[in-house]
Chain A
Amino acid sequence: MFDTVLVANRGEIALRVVRSCQEMGIRTVVVHSTADADSAAVRAADVAVQIGPPPARRSYLFAPALVEAALATGAQAVHPGYGFLSEDPDFAEICADNGLVFVGPPPEVMARLGDKASARAAMAEAGLPLLPGSRSTVDSAAEATALAAEIGYPVIIKATAGGGGRGMTVVRDPRDLAKAYRSTRAVGQAVFGNSSVYMERFCESARHVEVQVLADSYGEVVHLGERDCSVQRRHQKLIEESPAPELPESLRRRMAEASVAGAKAVGYVGAGTFEYLVVDDEFYFMEINCRIQVEHPVTEMVTGIDLVREQLRVAAGLPLSLEFDGRGVSLECRVNAEDPDRDYLPAAGLIDEFVPPGGPFTRVDTHARAGWRISPDYDSLLAKVVVWAPDRPQAVARMRRALSEFRITGKGIRTTIPALLRILDTPEFVKGVHDTSLISKLGTAT
């Protein structure tokens, strides 16, 4: 096992990774921008290295600084967390070139799966079901028009390099297609540096269900059950849970088997997530996330497996020695510094009071505290409230109780807590039959 690991991230996930390292007796190096010089992860780390100014492209996205920090501190491995450089095959390669272990899949696997069109092709080959759509990229407006007519409206145009809910356009009317095609290409180029796009049929009411897999370097792949992430606003998740409620047992099994087969087909190594749309009793492959996910704690709660620990073990070349054995129900709510009444506009500021919930089977992953200033330079995730219970009604009640306990105040500070509580009370959510249209139906988002 490594004796020093560098954590190339910030916020709650940096602290999360540090904590697993500490439990494993691994020394930690946390890198930070000048805005995060006094962050919770920096405080918890054995060594902290300031790598740049607040803008991420000059700090958390700046590979040379990360590598220099790792080499200067004697780190043998780099854990990228989620976001930032976590799915960047070039960064993984730079790490390898400098003798550092990147905690994630091999660069060539990440490159193949990071391009959504080529991931789609690879999974079709492995026998996974896809929504009707383009076989690879769509390279002209004429081609887009012809294809949309063939697969039927509405369609969704997606940037092959997109992510985080950006670079996607839904088209319901053929007259809007050419414009949407051009604008999605432009967003892809501007945000992700790649203008290529692909197209799929768009499902108005679908559930978003994903399967967690773990793979070691010896070809062994296990799944750790699924998570339902259907509560989304603007394609960004707000509530996740495991297992997915009201999912037929045969479908659950088929999705898990497909994910394991898909991971084996591409030589996957590490923790990964297969995302699917579930429509009626069918599932369709969407994409693979080559990283630890924000919502990984719900899987940890039902399986009792520390996913970060497993990532580190696999990266150190150890074989997997676990199998899926889920128990009970876990929910996660994302408490973001956003104003749900103003279309989830980020609400940065200084936190005066911060009292996270406690009590039975309640876990809060957060980097925030009283006196912490929420920086406008980074994403708005403030805390993840995760609960476990033997069954779903108890888990929902426990989450309601936990969120009601959570006190966060400060000038200008608004959080998603009121919106989360409203969602927990909707009949669809209580029954576990909600889909991705839930929030827009509630009218709390556009």
Chain B
Amino acid sequence: MSIVPDRLPLGEEPPSLADERETVRELCRSLGDLVRGPAGRATRVVMAAGSVRVEVEWPVGEAGSVVPSGEGNALEAEPTGEVLRAEMVGTFYVAAEPGARPFAAVGDVVAQGQQVGIVEAMKLMNAVVAPCAGTVTEVLAADGQAVEYDQPLLVIAPAEQEE
């Protein structure tokens, strides 16, 4: 599953930036509902923001039916989970320093409280930590990207799903 914002929210040219950002936000919300909805877990989600494009793919032959949890492709069929959002305006970093191994990449299993990124604001490095144990299913912000308050950064599928 990948969500690909193809435009950055900060520093972009007008005129429709505010509208577009709202569109992205709305898309993220709707996608969350969609992939958790009765249609079952999606195997692939593509989202574009510039001209607004959404693609959702469900397992072939299972469309419309509820896919029991635990089935399907282990990597691709993870449901959308906890969305980590920026708690402040700043610059997002995936690693402690340029070239270093990222704190967390898609597919990594993380523990609750484990650092998964950094938002730098006023030269202070603010750790972004996992709110729960689980698997990183998406990294939504690029390394070095300026992020605003409440902007989605990563998605973690919780390790223990309620049946």
A contact set with B: CB distance below 8 Å: 34, 37-38, 42-43, 45-53, 59, 64-65, 67-69, 72-74
Contacts and interface: CB of A to CB of B under 8 A. Distances in A.
A37 B12 CA distance: 17
Contacts of B44: none
A22 to B, nearest CB: 11
B14 interface: yes
A45 B17 CA distance: 9
A45 B15 CA distance: 8
Nearest to B10: A72
Given A48-B21, A68-B90, A72-B10, A34 B121 contact: no
28 contacts: A34-B150, A37-B22, A43-B18, A46-B17, A47-B12, A48-B18, A49-B10, A49-B148, A50-B89, A50-B150, A50-B151, A51-B148, A51-B149, A52-B88, A59-B149, A64-B88, A64-B89, A64-B121, A64-B124, A65-B89, A67-B122, A68-B146, A69-B89, A69-B148, A72-B10, A72-B11, A72-B89, A73-B10
B135 interface: no
Contacts of A68: 88-91, 121-122, 146
B122 A46 contact: no
A67 B120 CA distance: 12
Interface residues of B, number: 22
Contact of A47 (B11, B89, B124): B11
A38 B89 contact: no
A53 B21 CA distance: 17
Interface of B: 10-15, 17-18, 21-22, 88-91, 121-122, 124, 146, 148-151
A293 B60 CA distance: 64
Nearest to A43: B18
Top 9 closest A-B pairs, CB basis? A72-B146, A50-B148, A64-B122, A65-B89, A68-B89, A46-B14, A48-B18, A50-B149, A52-B149
The binding surface of chain A is classed by DSSP as: mixed
Contact of A42 (B15, B18, B88): B18
Contacts of A37: 18, 22
B33 to A, nearest CB: 20
Among A34, A51, A64, A72: residue with most chain B CB under 10 A: A72
Contacts of B91: 68, 72
A76 to B, nearest CB: 14
Contacts, number: 69
Contacts of B15: 46
A38 B18 contact: yes
Contacts of A65: 88-89, 121, 149
A51 B150 CA distance: 8
Contact of B17 (A48, A51, A67): A48
B85 to A, nearest CB: 11
Nearest to B11: A73
Contact of A38 (B11, B22, B121): B22
Contacts of B88: 52, 64-65, 68
A432 B116 CA distance: 66
Contact of B14 (A47, A49, A52): A47
A129 B48 CA distance: 65
A35 B90 CA distance: 20
B37 to A, nearest CB: 26
A72 B15 CA distance: 18
B10 A47 contact: yes
Contacts of B149: 34, 50-53, 59, 65
B161 to A, nearest CB: 30
Nearest to B86: A50
A52 B87 CA distance: 8
A52 B88 CA distance: 7
B38 to A, nearest CB: 30
Nearest to B25: A37
Contacts of B148: 49-51, 69
A51 B11 contact: no
A96 to B, nearest CB: 14
Q: Which of B10, B12, B121 has the most CB of A within 10 A?
A: B10
Contacts of B11: 47, 72-74
B6 to A, nearest CB: 18
Nearest to A97: B122
